Amino acid sequence: MSMLSDPALITMLLLAIVLMPLLAAVLLVFFGRRMARPDWLATASIGLGAVIALTLFWQVIVRQGDPEWRWASVEHGLSAAWLAIPLMPLHVGLYLDNLSVIMLTMVTVVATCIFAFSQGYMHGDKNYSRFFAYLSYFCFAMLGLVVVDNLLVLFMFWELVGVGSYLLIGFFHDQPEPPRASLKAFMVNRVGDVLFLLGIIAAWQLFGTLNYHELFERLAAGQFAPQAGRAFPWMSDHGLLTLSGVLIFCGAVSKSAQFPLHTWLPDAMAGPTPVSALIHAATMVAAGVFMVGRMYPYFTPEALAVIAAVGALTALLGATMGLVMWDIKKVLAYSTMSQLGFMMLALGVGGWVAGLFHLITHAFFKACLFLGSGSVIHAVHSQDIREMGGLRRKLPVTYTTFVIATLALAGVPCFAGYYSKDQIVANALAWGLTRGAAHWIPFVFAATGAFMTTFYMLRLVFLTFHGEPRDHHRYEHAHESPPVMTVPLMILATVALLGGGTLNPLPHTEDLWFNRLVPTPESAAAVGLRLEGHSEEMEHFEHVLHTQAHYPAVAVSVVAILLGWVLARAMYLRRTLDPAAVSARFGPLHGLIANRYFLDEIQSCYVVGGVMKLNRALAAFDKGVIDGLVNLTALVARALVVVSRLFDSFVIDGLVNFWRGFVRGLSGVLRLLQTGNARDYLTWTLLCVLILAFYLARGLT
């Protein structure tokens, strides 16, 4: 029996994976304080999800192994009608392909390791259950993001993930830094999200659907919606598609900390280390890359060029800043930023498989590195590497896993990172070869970035774990972490080691399981070429990639790694080169980099400042005009009061007085009848009798 043939079962399993963490989060919010072990509930919810995901992984990847496999719940009639307005009916369903399955597995397994690690790291914290509640909520949002089948619901979960990040960064809310950092993260992400939404709207206008399935079908057929209902009807299909692609990419720019919306990521290190591991290394920042990968057929060559450029710049910038940091977590944060740049670069140059493979492997070893740093911080109660040294003797397991992960990150052959990174470099090289001129930049930046990556990671390792301890007090008290923290490290390091699926340093691309199972989708450029009958351009690129670029790329990578290793060893291990002298040589440049290129200051001055000016202007308008109007109505009301009072005293009272006078007059007249004289009464009676008789007589005749 194949579980894959039962749509109801798949739907249930996917919903279980996504909703179990949500359930755990809700329960923890309400009952967490009263629970004995809230962490077990959370870990169980995500652990079960991991088990289901691994089962799916087994079925889809290992047993079935069909690169073309797709599963959309819409096709099986298992989607929920959400918006039933005729103009834009929206259905929510689930979408699976090999990539999603791998993503799900990665997220759940890494999250499970991190949850387990947190039991040790956050032990004794007074908000223990709340931490796990937030973590579970975040997992729910992230997993939801992976499985949905249309852009709008993706955006919803995108925002939910942002909320989770906000909550978790600002977890230590009584300290001054975390709340500021979480707000900054949220705000910077907001900028990207707005642009993302604009891109989604443009996509809607272009194709009339936001569902992946339908969208990709229409893209493949070049089937655009009529130009009548668009925002910019004068723009061509291609132009609007490019613009929309760039806007959608902007969402990834903020979420995945690309230049220039990267400023929030280093500040986000104010959150607890497990949070940094989960969100800012493995999952949330990866969501941007995942989204770009998912939407790959959507991007025109121009959009892809933008992506490549931004990615390349980010890769280099992040690497330069990682060189000069003294905080473990900051080094790793800039490393993450740089690696994300690599992934975007890969996607931009056409190395779709490379970029996404790197996403998966990076998640594992970066999480391992962050958790390892957490272990170190837990041991020495400091994050500053100037206060460390020689810790490999005290923290052996941590040291070993940390080194393995570092080697994977650097792209040392045979480790998992090598296979993905090597492909990125190869693709960049092919891109440069096929197009020439400015198109060489990604390759140059990638190679330089690889060199720097090795250098700063080894710098970190040497300063932290090797040499003599610089702070003896901390060194004395350092001890290895408990198993609940070291076992996840080991699991992650294992994947970092073996994730390539092979130990062959020079594999054919077909040997790599990822390449085999997750084929590159047809890019918009390719579609365009195909429809015009010029498919040979794409074939040319593929040809160059596989023949000319492959081995040189490997060579360049290895050279970069060696260079980095030699330099780092010289400066930080053997002390043949003095780091202080080197930084003095590069004086102004060093200052610039150490101050993060003043980008934070520029942002806060111009962007935030500009917004604040607008805010003040609007506030003045509100006070002056709106409040003025309100006060005016109050004045009018007061005037009305005066008028009504006058009315009351003159008209109403006048009426009353008139009646008083009238009645008095009338009664005065009538009183004259009462003479007390019987004769007068008789007279009047007689008169009335006469009148009556008169009318009677008239009636008789």
The site for another protein (CB under 8 A) is made up of 671, 674-679, 682-683, 686-687, 690, 693-694, 697, 700
Q: Is 262 left (phi over 0), alpha (psi -120 to 50) or beta?
A: alpha
Cα torsion through 392, 394, 395, 399, rounded to 10: 0
Task: State the nearest-atom distance from the C-beta of 681 to another protein, in Å.
Answer: 8
Task: State the nearest-atom distance from the C-beta of 683 to another protein, in Å.
Answer: 6
Q: Which is nearer to another protein, 620 or 686 (CB)?
A: 686
Q: Which is nearer to another protein, 87 or 700 (CB)?
A: 700
Q: Which is nearer to another protein, 622 or 680 (CB)?
A: 680
Describe the crossing of helices 328-349 and 352-380 by its angle, rounded to 10 degrees: 180
Task: State the nearest-atom distance from the C-beta of 642 to another protein, in Å.
Answer: 45
Distance CA 648, CA 445 (A): 86
Distance CA 300, CA 527 (A): 10
Which tokens go with 340?
A: 């994300």
Q: Which is nearer to another protein, 81 or 696 (CB)?
A: 696
Distances, alpha carbon 81 to alpha carbons 85, 93, 215, 290, 489, in Å: 10, 9, 18, 26, 43
Q: Which is nearer to another protein, 598 or 695 (CB)?
A: 695
Task: State the nearest-atom distance from the C-beta of 665 to another protein, in Å.
Answer: 15
Task: State the nearest-atom distance from the C-beta of 698 to another protein, in Å.
Answer: 12
Task: State the nearest-atom distance from the C-beta of 657 to another protein, in Å.
Answer: 24
CA 336 to chain centre: 15
Residue 211, SS3? strand
Query: Residue 45 carries which side chain, given as an amino acid letter?
Result: S
Q: Which is nearer to another protein, 580 or 678 (CB)?
A: 678
Residue 91 main-chain phi, psi, to 5 deg:
-115, 145
Distance CA 45, CA 488 (A): 17
CA 400 to chain centre: 32
CB of 257 within 8 A of CB of 366?
no
Task: State the nearest-atom distance from the C-beta of 664 to another protein, in Å.
Answer: 14
Task: State the nearest-atom distance from the C-beta of 643 to another protein, in Å.
Answer: 44
Q: Which is nearer to another protein, 124 or 676 (CB)?
A: 676
Q: Which is nearer to another protein, 581 or 673 (CB)?
A: 673
Describe the crossing of helices 151-169 and 128-147 by its angle, rounded to 10 degrees: 160
Task: State the nearest-atom distance from the C-beta of 658 to another protein, in Å.
Answer: 24
CB count in 10 Å sphere of residue 122: 20
Query: Residue 184 carries which side chain, given as an amino acid letter?
Result: K
Q: Which is nearer to another protein, 12 or 689 (CB)?
A: 689
Element (H, E) at 282: none
Task: State the nearest-atom distance from the C-beta of 679 to another protein, in Å.
Answer: 6
CB of 442 within 8 A of CB of 428?
yes
Task: State the nearest-atom distance from the C-beta of 661 to another protein, in Å.
Answer: 20
Length of the chain, in residues: 701
Q: Which is nearer to another protein, 585 or 671 (CB)?
A: 671
Q: Which is nearer to another protein, 533 or 676 (CB)?
A: 676
Distance CA 454, CA 562 (A): 8
Q: Where are the alpha helices (DSSP H) in 482-548?
A: 483-498, 513-517, 524-532, 536-544
